[in-house]
Structure 1
Amino acid sequence: MNALISKVLHEAIREKFWYVAEDSRGVSRIFFDSGAGSLVLKSAHAAIEHASRLSSYGGGGFPDSQWVDDIVAQARTAVADLINAPSPEQLFTGESATAVLRRLAEAILPALPDRSRILISATDHNANVDPWRQTAAVLSAKQLDVQLVRFDPKTGTVDLNHLESLADPRVRVVAVAHASNVLGAENPLREIRQLLQRAAPDAWLIVDGVHFIPHGPVDVQAIGADAYVFSSYKIFAQRGLSWAYANEAILRLPHYKLTPAPDRPPESWEWGFRNPADFAPIIEVVDYLAWLGRECFPIAASETGDRRRWVRLGQQAIRQYEHELVRAMLDGVEGTPGLRALEGVTLHGISEPEHYHLKEPTFSFTVAGWSSEDVVAWLWNRHRIAARGGDHYALETHRQLGVRESVRASLAHYNTVEEVRRFLQALAELLAEKVRA
């Protein structure tokens, strides 16, 4: 077990989540589908249940309404701690990351000079591709130039040489994922920011953090993000609320709002008042990460410090533990071969140990002679392993890979090396069967 997360601590972590070892029907299973939505913290679920009892709308002068306002404020503060945002007032919400990114595109692109260039990435979910392409098409008179940046097939990260060849002073937006939801590789955001400072100093860096957010520390100030978007349901809460950090210049851009709605951000960016039951669970998520930081770094956590520091330590502990899962999946466990060694499996993205440090525990692959749907059905029917097949809404990623779909096993820190071993054994059993036509 990991030096920071002991076996006893990991058992305590698993106990904090719903359905970590069984599904909602009580069927024992292995959950390797966190990329589609993480398991939910029990404390986050309890917060949802409590907050959902209130029908009050914020902004009133009575206790229930004031409580709603307080929960919303606490949630913004918690998210500021989670991603090291300069201020909670720079965080607005939407019903999904797709909607929030579209909202950003519709505000940013009209404000750009004609013939500006927008760079999007082949590592990205279409939620951070289509808003830029489609909004640019609507604004056809501005002749905006949208270009796709390739990824390096060895690392699954943005090809910096290709990015540099496209970057010039015309570039005003670079939209890129913090980590690919297919390749599971962390993009070098700080290096991208430095490249843009040299070649495209007026460019805004718009980051889709949806896939990365449960896997490690996020510091929007350190990476130089001008906007950063993620969803609560990918980080141990529930569907229905996504978050966006934006710099002051973006927040001041003209954007759609109802006339009587507040003129000041973040409320001016939000369409209708949000459900307090959507805000309450993220507070519990951030408190959980702080708890994990204190458990893993008791000396540091006992010193004077605020929640932001403890949250970051918790995120670091998760990242270190998940690197063990990466090594186990790729290299194998106790004589069970890893994905790299399985004949008939084509692994997409990182496969060499020198790049393991860039990888989240998300593994996409294809199996010769099998469709992705058949593989995931076989894994479930034979071994009760929940994985996912398809294009994962990342069409450009699969297009560059030269395949239409892939099998994806996506893990989180509540998974175990033993679960990885069982998955690898199941996959080896599948490969031993007659190859399907």
Structure 2
Amino acid sequence: MAAFSPALMSEIRGRFAHVESCPFQGPRIFFENAGGALTLNSVVETSALFAALPDNQGRDNPAAHALVDRINLAKRDMATFFNADGGQYFVGESGTELSFRLIRTAVMGSEPGGAVIGSTVEHPASRSAATHWAGMAGKDYISVPHDDATGSVSPEAYAARMTADVRVATILHTSPVTGIANDVAGISAAIRKVAPEAIIFVDGIQHASHGAIDIRSYDIDGYVVSPYKMFSRHGYGVAWVSERMTALPLEQLINGPRQNWEMGTRDTGSYATFSDVVSYLDWLGDQHSDSDDPRTRLEAAGAAIHAHEQVLTGAMLTGVGNLPGLTELPGVTILGGADNPAREGLVCFALQGAPAGDIVARLNAQGIRTHIRKADHYSGNILTPLGLEAAVRVSMCHYNSVEEVSTFLAAMKEIAAA
């Protein structure tokens, strides 16, 4: 049984654009959320409003004042959403760009010498930035191997390779290939135990749409998300940085404000559409909580989203009604293992004898949108150790339904039989 009632599910789906059909393909089931989630209708409206305005912030006129007010409101919403003690929030070009910028700032601004540590499970955005800037700064790069069986990396794995001279550490919250979350707080504690002054960066891009973020509990210095993967739109990323990160030498205008991370005129629409996301989650949390506290409602929304997605992934793996789950189809390999409690709304699999690209194409022909992950610079770190050239990624969000999973399983039963 789904975690949401039929009435609530209908209301949830009604708040998103293109839930059941694509303007180019027609009717379809959207299981490609890790590539970019569905967009809230409110985000579409807000984007149009602010895209049409000619005014900039910082002027002395009503429109400019209104833009500043919306940015300040969004930063308060970000503070509620991320739940950090202090620090700053700002937008950039994308989650990848912000990851590079924060890691560059941390590596180049840290004490000379020492090392940078990260893991093999990471997305190439953080791993590429860390290895590149470690080399530029003359620092060693320490690579922590992830567990191929679980598709994750543990605090113990970090602890085994930690050294006291680690200056910067990077952590992946959730893998966009396996869908498996890592223990950010545990890894951070393992790092701090050996190198308490290390600057710790977290890539939260895949995790953000699948449950609550609680930076206060992580003891980190930087966290980045990509709003187009959490119900907003393309064209911007959001970062949080600690005071420790801001105290490092920053790239900024000569004689400009010392602690300013924002460069140039900001896109007010970016900030405003993030507020739309927080407003939606607040509404969803209100359906599962009687609290008057906004943060408590967001936590309730995160818990409800996680519970519903557990139902979806469980159904996909073990079956619905008379339809067999993926684990019951002969020749199927589930990345991260079928019984993995850290899974977040995503199932990635390979079917022996059936190329992943063919499966994706056959599903798409039946109106089921999925995605192929190849052993390339994006996913080779996960697939190559498993001996896989490619895999099929089926990524869900809380607006997806068990009925859609059933349709997928019916299609997969035919494909496996063929």
Deviation at 1:420, TM superposition (A): 0.9
Matched, 1:165 2:157: no
Matched, 1:198 2:193: yes
Q: State the partner residue of 1:411.
A: 396
How much does 1:194 deviate? Answer: 2.1
- SS at 1:152 equivalent: coil
What residue in structure 2 maps to residue 217 of structure 1?
212
Comparing 15-24 with 363-372, greater Cα deviation is found at 363-372
2:227 aligned partner:
232
State the distance in 2 between where 1:43 and 1:339 align: 36
Shift of 1:202: 2.3
Q: Of 319, 323, 338, which residue of structure 1 is paired with 2:325?
A: 338
Distance in 1 of aligned mates of 2:50 and 2:251: 29
| In structure 2, distance between residues paired with 1:164 and 1:260 | 42
Tell me, in whole angstroms, the C-alpha distance in 1 between the residues paired with 2:43 and 2:311. 27
Q: Offset of 1:260 from its aligned partner?
A: 5.3
String of CA shifts for 1:270-298, please: whole Å, max 9, x gaps: 2322211222111111011011111122x
- Of the three residues 271, 276, 279, the one matched with 2:271 is 279
- Are 2:172 and 1:208 equivalent residues in the alignment? no
* Residue type of the alignment partner of 1:166: R
Deviation string 1:140-179 (CA, Å, 9 cap, x unpaired) is xx3x111222222332221333322101212222211110
**Quick check: 1:124–1:181 contact (8 Å CA) kept in 2?**
no
Say which of 55, 79, 89 aligns to 1:91: 89
Does residue 387 in structure 1 map to residue 373 in structure 2? no
Encode CA deviations 1:12-65: one digit per residue, 9 max, x unaligned: 000100011111247111000000000000011111111112111100110111
In the TM superposition, what are the counterparts of 1:253-332 in structure 2 within 5 Å? Answer: 253-259=248-254, 261-264=256-259, 268-297=260-289, 300-301=290-291, 305-332=292-319
Letter in 1 for 2:328: A
- Please report how far the alpha carbon of residue 306 of structure 1 lies from its aligned counterpart in structure 2 after TM superposition: 2.7
Q: Which structure 1 segments of 5+ residues have no match?
A: none
Are residues 231 and 422 of structure 1, via their aligned partners in 2, closer, same or farther at CA, if it must alter by over 3 Å? same
Q: Which residue of 1 aligns with 2:354?
A: 370
What amino acid is aligned across from residue 286 of structure 1 in structure 2?
V
User: Partner residue of 1:41?
Assistant: 40
What code does the residue aligned with 2:65 have?
Q
Q: Counterparts of 1:198 and 1:130 in 2: how far apart (Å)?
A: 26
Q: Does 1:135 align with 2:133?
A: yes
The answer to whether the Cα contact below 8 Å between 2:151 and 2:382 also exists between their aligned partners in 1 is no
In the other structure, the counterpart of 1:108 is 106
TM-score after normalising by structure 1: 0.91
Tell me which residue corresponds to 1:361.
345
Does structure 1 retain, via aligned residues, the 8 Å contact 2:210–2:305?
A: yes
With 409-418 and 276-285 compared, the bigger mean Cα shift is at 276-285
2: CA distance, partners of 1:344 / 1:127: 32
Q: Matched residues in 1 for 2:263 and 2:332: separation?
A: 46
Question: Does structure 1 residue 251 correspond to structure 2 residue 235?
Answer: no
The answer to whether the aligner puts 1:429 opposite 2:417 as a matched pair is no
Letter of the 1:418 partner, please give it.
E
CA shift, 1:86, in A, is 2.6
TM-superposed CA distance for 1:70, in Å, is 1.2
Paired residue type of 1:425: A
How far did residue 101 of structure 1 move? 1.1
Give the Å deviation of 1:72.
Answer: 1.2
The answer to which of 416-425 and 335-344 deviates more is 335-344
Q: Secondary structure at the match of 1:365?
A: strand
Once structures 1 and 2 are overlaid, which stretch shifts more, 96-105 or 370-379? 370-379
Q: Quick one: structure 1 residues 284 and 194, their matched pair in 2 at CA, closer, same or farther if it must change by over 3 Å? A: same
Taking the aligned partners of 2:82 and 2:23, their CA distance within structure 1 comes to 31
Is the 1:58–1:66 contact (alpha carbons within 8 Å) kept by the matching residues of 2? yes
Shift of 1:390: 2.7
Counterpart for residue 80 of structure 1 = 79
* Secondary structure class of the residue paired with 2:216: helix
| 1:369 Cα deviation after fit | 2.9
Structure 2 residue 396 is the aligned partner of structure 1 residue 396: no
2:242 is aligned with what amino acid?
N
Deviates more, 1:234-243 or 1:189-198: 189-198
CA distance in 1, matches of 2:115, 2:25: 52
**Is the 2:181–2:343 Cα contact (8 Å) retained in structure 1?**
yes
SS of the residue 1:129 aligns to? helix
Q: Which amino acid aligns with 1:315?
A: G
TM-score, normalisation: structure 2: 0.95
What is the CA distance between 1:261 and its match in structure 2? 4.1
How much is the aligned-residue C-alpha RMSD, in angstroms? 1.7
Aligned partners of 2:158 and 2:191 also within 8 Å? no
Taking the aligned partners of 1:395 and 1:84, their CA distance within structure 2 comes to 34
Instruction: State the aligned residue count.
Output: 416
Q: Are the counterparts in 2 of residues 19 and 39 from structure 1 also a CA contact under 8 Å?
A: yes
- Distance in 1 (CA, whole Å) between partners of 2:223 and 2:255 is 27
Residue segments in structure 2 that go unaligned for 5+ positions in a row: none
